[in-house]
Structure 1
């Protein structure tokens, strides 16, 4: 999350966070969304067995998304190694079979923009490199190099 400190009334410091509703970023006097996203991302990763460590990207980093990313119902999120301004995330529309191999059907956007447009996907942002998240409406699976990772019974993801 992007947060900043700002002088508030009577000289007190306040924490400002993005409203997660508009681009460009509009900061508001709150930390609710920051804490909620942190908790969801952490709980999401801790729902997996075998356990993996979360890798929290910055909302300033980019993701590569399919042109249908705003409306796609069947999505594959793939996390590769990120560096500098690249989070390593790729979002593919599983219903666009022919277009999944067409580079002109993909473009870069910020993770902030992706979170604004698809708040349902923000909980996956801390999934580490080398894993994929398959989302098919309410069905969610996390895939690793050796197959599907199990969801711990009673966990956030399950």
Structure 2
């Protein structure tokens, strides 16, 4: 792992913020550090124990023995959230979600992993799925998940973090805006937003997503 840190102490009297990334992927720390630097310049004061949303992910700041603030991110597959040092997953998922939105020429509309979605009875265990987004409001992300179109009624509220922990293949699409829909069928992906539709047979990115390590 390689650490990158801000240099606040001499100018802003603010603890330095440290972002850890796997060796060779340090470039991913730069936009995260830049976010914190911009916020501190605007007068924001970050403290240990505070959480910060970046994309759809939540980052936790933890104090170090050196008086710095270490960035930690959620470890998927463990509910409730268990935190692990670094932000490599946050960066990868942010880039993938932005790239998927660009395929449809729309701005990403990031939910929070703490928001809820409606999940049909068979969704978690199904091989294929479909997901569609209505307007987001409060703690409701607007997302609805089902195994197929036959499951039009019924469902329960589940946090997006729990859904993504069990079905990580939905993560690339979570920043699509309302009126979007995604269908995964036999390894093929079809996305629709308004009058725009993109399928995996015409997109290298979508072909790679169902079995890739881009989001893990």
Q: Give the TM-score range, shorter chain.
A: 0.7 to 0.9
Q: 1:151 Cα deviation (Å)?
A: 5.4
Q: 1:123 Cα deviation (Å)?
A: 0.8
Residue deviations 1:28-58 (CA, integer Å, cap 9, x gap): 111011111111111111122xx11110100
Task: Name the structure 1 match of 2:147.
Answer: 93
Give the structure, 1 or 2, with the largest relative contact order (CA under 8 Å, sep 6 or more). Answer: 1
Q: 1:101 Cα deviation (Å)?
A: 3.4
Are residue 149 (structure 1) and residue 197 (structure 2) matched?
yes
Mark the runs of 5 or more structure 2 residues left unpaired by the alignment.
1-56, 208-216
For the residue of structure 1 that corresponds to 2:172, the secondary structure is helix
Large movers: runs of 4+ above 4 Å: 151-155
Count how many residue pairs are aligned between Structure 1 and Structure 2.
Answer: 150
Task: Name the structure 2 match of 1:134.
Answer: 183
Q: 1:130 Cα deviation (Å)?
A: 0.6
For the residue of structure 1 that corresponds to 2:92, the secondary structure is helix
Task: Name the structure 1 match of 2:26.
Answer: none
- 2:192 and 2:198 in contact (8 A); partners too: no
User: Equivalents in 1 of 2:166, 2:82: separation in Å?
Assistant: 15
- 1:47 and 1:157 in contact (8 A); partners too: no
Task: Name the structure 2 match of 1:53.
Answer: 107
Are residue 77 (structure 1) and residue 131 (structure 2) matched?
yes
Residue deviations 1:68-89 (CA, integer Å, cap 9, x gap): 2222122110011011100000
Mark the runs of 5 or more structure 1 residues left unpaired by the alignment.
none
Q: 1:154 Cα deviation (Å)?
A: 5.5
User: Equivalents in 2 of 1:72, 1:151: separation in Å?
Assistant: 21
- 1:47 and 1:156 in contact (8 A); partners too: no
- Which protein shows a greater Rg? 2
Structure-to-structure mapping, 1:98-109, within 5 angstroms: 100-103=151-154, 106-109=155-158
Using structure 2 for the length normalisation, give the TM-score: 0.64
For the residue of structure 2 that corresponds to 1:37, the secondary structure is helix
Structure-to-structure mapping, 1:1-80, within 5 angstroms: 1-48=57-104, 51-80=105-134
Return closer, same or farther for 1:130/1:92 CA change in 2, 3 Å cut-off. Answer: same
